[in-house]
Chain A
Amino acid sequence: MAAYAVRRMAGGFLLLLVLTLVTYVVFFTIPQDPGRFIVTVPHPTTADLTAADHKLGIDQPVYVQYGKYVWRLVHGDLGRSYATQEPVFSIVRYSLPVTASIVLGGVVLLALTSLVLGVYCASRAHTTVDRIVATLPLVGIALHPLAVGLLLRWAVAKHLHLAPADGYCELMPGGGGCSGPMGWASHLALPWITFALFLLPLYVRMVRARVLETLDEGHVVVARAKGASERGVVWSHVLPLVYPTLVAMLAMDAGAALIAAIYIEIVFGLPGLGSAAVQAQVGIVGLDLPVILGVITVVAAAVIVLNVVADVVTVRLDPRLELGRRRYTLW
């Protein structure tokens, strides 16, 4: 299992290299002038710009720059922002916990609600309730998380005043302001709900289908035959077979989840990775390549690690499965 994880990680690292290389090459085919980021005089001469370019290291050929980028990456250094000269690592260190909080809390909420609703629908299969829930995915995929977030923000925060509309509070108390578990959770309540709603319809359908499928299996018939209650059958004979599917699906959707997180950060004004990337993209002077690359690298690494972890967990949960036999794997 360890060898498997190492092999997958190595493949993932290769993928990361390809990805950053593509971003680098495309970036340098775009006509723009990063030197202007750090020039302080209002009307820079060509000499000023050349000096600035030299200071940023972008007067070198692309492959030298890329080589240096990889060299630094291996040593855990993501470079410095063109605009603020701040190390990208510290930008990531401040924004990663925000995005992680949104995704983790959202995933917990998503898993719980989809299990409850999925089992409920399965126990009432082919009734009106079940049919109504079955049509929800159609609406679910057609609603953008941004729109859902805006509506929630408008209704719950601005009109009912049940939760704060925006801002982020640190989990650990002592950070000043509203930091602490309560402030953290209350500020993230709406983002979590938005996140869960984004994927919920799909997951309810999946859990429902999986429960119905498992209810037909032999071991369930045996459990019923020896007189187990319906609740007991679902809890100890059906649900353990649903968990691996749930974990596998969550891993597959890691990329989609991070995309949703970008929009959720925008709606609720959370200073996460997505906000950092968007900010680096809309700068007046041009694209802040190191920041964008830093975010891409961190997100890609997270997706790769999560996929491997999910693979291992899935096999642990369901010994009948075999490693490397999953349908959708990332290298």
Chain B
Amino acid sequence: MPPPASAAAATGPGAPEPAVVARSSWAHVLHRLARDPLAIVSFTLLSVVVLGVFAGGPLAAHLLGHGPNDVFLHSITDGVPAGPWSHVRNLDESYKHTDGTTLFVLGSDGYVGRDEFVRLLYGGQTSLEVAAGATFVAMLVGTFLGGLAGYFGGIVDGIVLRIIDFLMAFPVILVAIAIGSSASDRFAGITFGGLLQPGVIGLAGFVGLLTCFYPARIIRAQVMTLREQPFIEGARMVGASHRRILFGHMAPHLMGPLAVYSTIVLATNIMLEASISLLGAGIQPPTASWGNMLSTNFGTLLYPGHYEPLEPRLWTAVFPSLAILLTLVAAVLLGEQLRKAFDPRAR
């Protein structure tokens, strides 16, 4: 039985020294994050957004008594939608009699007459589901492509580099316009029994494929440097298989970058979802998403060439924009602090 770690110190003169406890690199990272105020703030912010959207949405719908897609005809008077914090008269089933009022916390959503607040929360579910799903796809495909390119090099590397170049340089939104809506229509039915909002699966896959170049580049560079390290050389020398080297020896070194860059890809994907849905090619109404909520400003979006100078209601643009801004800032900030936690010497 080995002597306790403190035995040597205890036998020496003076006060006994505390035992040195070995910690894994993950424990170090967590330790650094826990002492980093910016990381805590951004993590809390992100958690608040996620909780608020997924738990707060149904809660708000229950408390206010109406869902995200319920239309209130009285919320629009003379073509002007009701402003934030206004009480809107109810209509009964036959749209004839009114009974009581209901509260629109953030007003009505432009020209349809639904509750902006409840839609903002439910739209957040859609946006976050798309962004998270797309990030998962992007990380998976990107890691696969980048790992292959970096590890095997040669012609594989050449092909992957071409794909990366293409995805980086081309305005992909145009392709999204061309094929996005119709492609995602096919997946609109897949909601896993109401777990996901309609249309999420298709759009998430599409956006994920478009953004996989980012992790692919990072992983490729990382694997290329790892390949030359002595411990990989050693593994190869003792006859380890490619699979063993990739999963047993390289994968642990890739977890850090993957964690850091998934937050940044998440931020990009939230923006991309908004950009695509905004043009009517992503999440289809009536399902709310932060992107298509921005587009309700434009009763005339469908005909941009014949733009009618209808005054857009500012708040219907401001609230979804603020929601996106908050989530993105939190995600990017968390990514930055994660990066510092993984590599404390880097500036």
Contacts and interface: CB of A to CB of B under 8 A. Distances in A.
Interface of A: 15, 19, 22-23, 26-27, 30, 32, 138-139, 141-144, 146-147, 150-151, 154, 158, 165-167, 252, 254-256, 258-259, 262-263, 265-266, 269, 271, 275-279, 281-282, 287, 289, 292-293, 295-296, 299-300, 303, 307, 328-331
Given A252-B168, A277-B178, 18 more contacts: A23-B175, A26-B178, A30-B182, A142-B325, A142-B328, A142-B329, A143-B321, A144-B324, A150-B312, A258-B174, A266-B301, A269-B307, A279-B303, A282-B302, A300-B170, A303-B170, A330-B166, A331-B165
A138 B332 contact: yes
B304 A27 contact: no
A287 B185 CA distance: 14
Given A142-B325, A147-B317, A158-B311, A281 B304 contact: no
Contacts of B307: 166-167, 269
A266 B309 contact: no
A32 B185 CA distance: 12
Contact of A26 (B179, B274, B321, B325): B179
A144 B165 contact: no
Contacts of B175: 19, 22-23, 296
Contacts of B281: 281
B60 interface: no
A19 B167 CA distance: 11
A254 B54 CA distance: 37
Interface centre among A262, A281, A299 (most CB of B within 10 A): A281
24 contacts: A15-B166, A19-B170, A19-B175, A26-B178, A30-B183, A32-B182, A141-B271, A141-B332, A142-B324, A144-B274, A144-B278, A144-B324, A146-B317, A150-B297, A166-B307, A259-B173, A262-B279, A266-B301, A278-B301, A279-B305, A287-B182, A296-B175, A299-B171, A331-B162
A49 to B, nearest CB: 19
B280 interface: yes
Contacts of B305: 271, 275-276, 279
A139 B329 CA distance: 7
Given A142-B324, A263-B278, A275-B304, A26 B183 contact: yes
Nearest to A18: B166
Contacts of A278: 177, 279-280, 301, 304
B295 to A, nearest CB: 9
Given A139-B329, A142-B324, A292-B178, A147 B294 contact: yes
Contacts of B108: none
B321 A144 contact: yes
Contacts, number: 142
A227 to B, nearest CB: 34
A150 B274 CA distance: 15
Contacts of B169: 252, 254-255, 303, 307, 328, 330
Contacts of B271: 141-142, 144
Contacts of A276: 305
A255 B165 contact: no
Contacts of B165: 328-331
B275 interface: yes
A275 B321 CA distance: 22
B314 interface: yes
A258 B171 contact: yes
Contacts of A281: 177-178, 181, 279-281
B267 interface: yes
A19 B318 CA distance: 36
Given A146-B278, A147-B321, A277 B166 contact: no
B298 interface: yes
A263 B297 CA distance: 13
B178 A296 contact: yes
Nearest to B336: A138
Nearest to B268: A141
Contacts of A275: 304-305
B162 A277 contact: no
Contacts of B294: 144, 146-147
Interface in B304-347: 304-305, 307, 309, 311-312, 314, 317-318, 321, 324-325, 328-329, 332-333
B174 A279 contact: no
A186 B311 CA distance: 20
A23 B179 contact: yes
